[in-house]
Amino acid sequence: MSEISYYSKEGMKKLKGELEHLESVERPRVSNDIAEARDKGDLSENAEYHAAKEEQSHLEFKIAKLKGVISNARIIDESKLDTSKILIHSIVKIRNTANKMEFTYTLVADSETNIKEGKLSVNSPIGKGLLGKKVGDITEIQVPSGVMKFEIVEISR
């Protein structure tokens, strides 16, 4: 059984837009590349044909995977979320207890992750360590460089 993922309306729109692009733009382009390569003669020694067929295989796999994600995706009504604790789509300000540096992250689904925009996956070590915590809580999180302690400073939506 596939895992259910939770998305904002924008995140779901982005997923569906990517799927539409793959199906309506990329798929016809690859089919055209295959047809052009096929017209060049002997298929057994035609590198362009084999490359286009391989690209088609990768594209179809990506389309199938994206369809699976979309079919198991749910849109969150953020107005009904508990704002007293950290959940997916929470905007969280945390403070590293060792160096007092503060960070602000929005916890999102894996496909919406973008560290440059401060969007952190709920399945990342820090994301998992923050889920369910409340303002004032201190959490220890195992990260690649070791264990870090963070204080939850603020939670918003």
Give the pLDDT of residue 2: 60
Domain boundary among 27, 53, 75: 75
Same domain (yes/no): 52, 119: no
pLDDT, tens digit, 9 for 90 and up, residues 116-139: 999 999 889 999 999 999 999 999
Same domain (yes/no): 85, 136: yes
Give the pLDDT of residue 56: 95
Share of the chain above pLDDT 90, in %: 54
The domain of 109 spans 78-156
- Give pTM, 2 decimals: 0.65
The CATH number for 149's domain is: 3.10.50.30
Domain boundary among 75, 95, 120: 75
pLDDT higher than threshold 70 for residue 108 = yes
Same domain (yes/no): 88, 148: yes
Same domain (yes/no): 91, 71: no
Give the pLDDT of residue 40: 80
The C-alpha atoms of residue 125 and residue 116 are separated, in whole angstroms, by: 17
Same domain (yes/no): 69, 106: no
Same domain (yes/no): 111, 99: yes
Same domain (yes/no): 67, 103: no
pLDDT, tens digit, 9 for 90 and up, residues 10-23: 888 989 999 999 99
The C-alpha atoms of residue 45 and residue 141 are separated, in whole angstroms, by: 54
The C-alpha atoms of residue 83 and residue 79 are separated, in whole angstroms, by: 9
Count of structural domains, the chain: 2
Give the pLDDT of residue 1: 46
Same domain (yes/no): 91, 148: yes
Same domain (yes/no): 15, 71: yes
Q: Which one-letter amino acid corresponds to residue 128?
A: K
The CATH number for 49's domain is: 1.10.287.180
Same domain (yes/no): 70, 87: no
Same domain (yes/no): 60, 89: no
Residue in 15, 132, 19 with CA at minimum distance from that of residue 74 = 15
pLDDT, tens digit, 9 for 90 and up, residues 65-104: 999 989 988 887 767 767 789 988 889 999 999 999 999 9
Same domain (yes/no): 87, 110: yes
More confident residue, 79 or 115: 115
pLDDT, tens digit, 9 for 90 and up, residues 38-60: 888 777 778 888 899 999 999 99
Burial class (CB in 10 A: 0-12, 13-18, 19+), 89: buried
